[in-house]
Amino acid sequence: MAGPGSPLRPDANAGRVALVTGGGTGIGRATALELAATGAKVVVCGRRAEPLEETTALVEADGGEALAVAADLREEDEVERVVEEALERFGTIDVLVNNAGGQFTAPAEEIGLKGWRAVQRLTVDAVWSVTHAVATRALIPGAGGLIVFVGFSPLRGIPGFAHAAAGRAAVANLASGLALEWSRHGIRSVCVAPGTIATEALDGYGADAVAAWERSVPLGRLGRPEEVATLIAFLASDGGGYITGTTIVVDGGADAWGLAEPPPPAGA
């Protein structure tokens, strides 16, 4: 069956195989569950085995098929191993969801080169490594498919996340460029840019920060992982077949409104 509250048919993605990076928690787990609930076979990868196995157990409990592959996607040989295991198990990959990422909050002037490079390595370099491997080994030989890049909203930038917002903007542009280049192979490429989503990742930022983010949303609440996941599952389905080369914002109106908070005061 499709997931709770899903508007998609349970066979909307039947016959497809999806690889979801960062599939052990948050948006990644919700996306894996929604893709599986709409008929896809799912491969989830990330650095920690335990949450990945929890995701696959949830998929299998609902009658789906899933594979968990623990790997550090910053390492090229690990990327190759993930793709190889996915192909060995399911024979192909039709959908890639580049969800894995990581960042820390800091004023821009306090972000050193080491911190900058650490975030870019995960949000840009590793994303390209996975995308290239999946495209050359599965999507191009298999005559097409979908690549999803998970970005950030607001698109204008986010105070305290200059490094991370820059990386996510890079992959949004990559989504557009690849849509132009790889359309000849039947590959669609879309960036999905969530706003602040209520996941366990927010726990480390503190109640005051989360409350401020919530105040900046015109709909008056944070998003749910399932709301992002259902969009991605739709994009993977035949219904999303004419959507490519764009960024779709899922943020309750936050990007349209702006930050709705004053800029940091001088001397802060």
- Over residues 214-239, the mean pLDDT reads 94
pLDDT-derived band of residue 194, with 50, 70 and 90 as boundaries?
very high
CA–CA separation, 170 vs 260, rounded Å? 24
CA–CA separation, 246 vs 97, rounded Å? 15
Cα 184 off chain centre by: 24
Encoding tokens for residue 229? 């996941």
- Residues contacting residue 94 through CB under 8 Å, at least 6 positions apart: 16, 17, 18, 40, 138, 139, 142, 145, 146, 236
Give the residue extent of every domain in the chain: 17-253
Chain-wide mean pLDDT for the chain? 91
Asked whether residue 2 carries a pLDDT value surpassing 60, the answer given is no
Q: Compute φ and ψ for 65, nearest 5 degrees.
A: -115, 135
pLDDT, position 251: 93
Write the CA distances from 141 to 13, 98, 99, 144, integer angstroms. Answer: 20, 20, 23, 8
Cα 45 off chain centre by: 12
pLDDT, position 53: 96
pLDDT-derived band of residue 35, with 50, 70 and 90 as boundaries?
very high
Phi-psi region of 91 (alpha: psi -120 to 50; beta: other; left: phi over 0): left
Q: Compute φ and ψ for 64, nearest 5 degrees.
A: -95, 180
pLDDT in tens, 137-146: 999 999 899 9
Q: Compute φ and ψ for 190, nearest 5 degrees.
A: -135, 140
- Over residues 170-199, the mean pLDDT reads 96
Q: Pick 61 or 204 by higher pLDDT.
A: 61
- Over residues 22-44, the mean pLDDT reads 96
Q: Pick 1 or 112 by higher pLDDT.
A: 112
Torsion, Cα 136 238 11 2, to 10 degrees, reads 100
- Over residues 205-231, the mean pLDDT reads 89
pLDDT, position 1: 38
Q: 12 and 2 in contact (C-beta within 8 Å)?
A: yes
pLDDT, position 216: 84
Q: What is the pTM of this model?
A: 0.92
Sheet holding 17-21, edge to edge: 66-70, 41-46, 17-21, 95-98, 145-150, 187-194, 247-250
Task: Characterize 229-254 residue by residue with b for buried, 16 or more Cβ atoms within 10 angstroms of its Cβ, and e for exposed.
Answer: bbbbbbbbbeebeeebeebbbbbbeb
pLDDT-derived band of residue 261, with 50, 70 and 90 as boundaries?
low
Q: Pick 180 or 157 by higher pLDDT.
A: 180
Asked whether residue 29 carries a pLDDT value surpassing 70, the answer given is yes
Asked whether residue 3 carries a pLDDT value surpassing 60, the answer given is no
CA–CA separation, 78 vs 84, rounded Å? 10
Asked whether residue 69 carries a pLDDT value surpassing 90, the answer given is yes
Encoding tokens for residue 176? 């557009």
Q: Quick one: fold of 17-253?
A: Rossmann fold (3.40.50)
pLDDT in tens, 201-217: 777 777 887 888 888 89
Q: Read off the DSSP letter of residue 267.
A: T
Asked whether residue 267 carries a pLDDT value surpassing 70, the answer given is no
Percent of the chain with pLDDT over 70: 94
